[in-house]
Copies of this chain bind each other. A is one copy, B any other.
Amino acid sequence: MTLYAYWRSTTSYRVRAALNLKGLTYETLPVDLVAGDQHSPDYAALNPGLGVPTLVLDDGTVLTQSLAILDYLDAVAAPRLLPDDPVARAKVMAAAHAVALDIHPVNNLRVLQHLRSIHGASEAETVAWMHHWMDAGFTTVEAIVSDSTPFAFSDAPDLADVCITAQLYNAHRWGLDMTAYPKLTRIEAACLALPAIAAAHPDHQPDAKVTI
């Protein structure tokens, strides 16, 4: 499999973590979002949404949208990141989506670029925008994850853990104070103690840079 990804993209991080947890091997092809590589005709033909990640299966099948890729991976390889029980599954998914829908899309690079170019947001205002949506989403997730397990809902990482850990990388990058979110900090520590997730961290990717 080939994963088109950008080191700092939290959606790429999610998918790398799942691939590694499931022991699947893949080649990483970097897409430099800051340089605008996602707009190249070749990449746009592969992924009309002009985002990352894109996963190309060995038979050439092209999968896009990180949560759809994660759903595919969960269908074909163990360990599963979602429980079988429909209610338990929906609960894990709701926590994952409080990050993947309520935080990430609003703080996506292209939204920040639009905020700056159209609405004249300064760097400080852009960071405040990101903090605002992370604080709102993290407050929700902190309220719904377990307080008695190392991971979000159990003794093993699930879809919520993967989404939370990737988003916390972004939170640290932009200097968010995590004091109010001890459960999320605990979850991140449990995840990063796993070699599979640690290896998926942005800093360990082939396109990682010391500074932007």
Residues of A within 8 A of B (CB): 48-51, 57, 61, 63-65, 67-69, 71-72, 75-76, 86-87, 89-91, 93-94, 97-98, 100-102, 104-106, 108, 111, 114-115, 118-119, 121, 125, 128-129, 132, 137, 139-140, 143-144
Choice from B50, B72, B76, B143 contacting A48 with Cβ under 8 Å: B143
Q: Quick one: which of B50, B68, B118 contacts A93, CB cutoff 8 A?
A: B68
A105 and B101 in contact (CB under 8 A), knowing A69-B90, A71-B89? yes
18 contacts between A and B (CB under 8 A): A48-B144, A49-B102, A63-B94, A64-B94, A65-B90, A65-B98, A65-B101, A67-B101, A68-B93, A68-B97, A71-B86, A72-B90, A75-B86, A101-B104, A105-B105, A106-B106, A106-B108, A118-B125
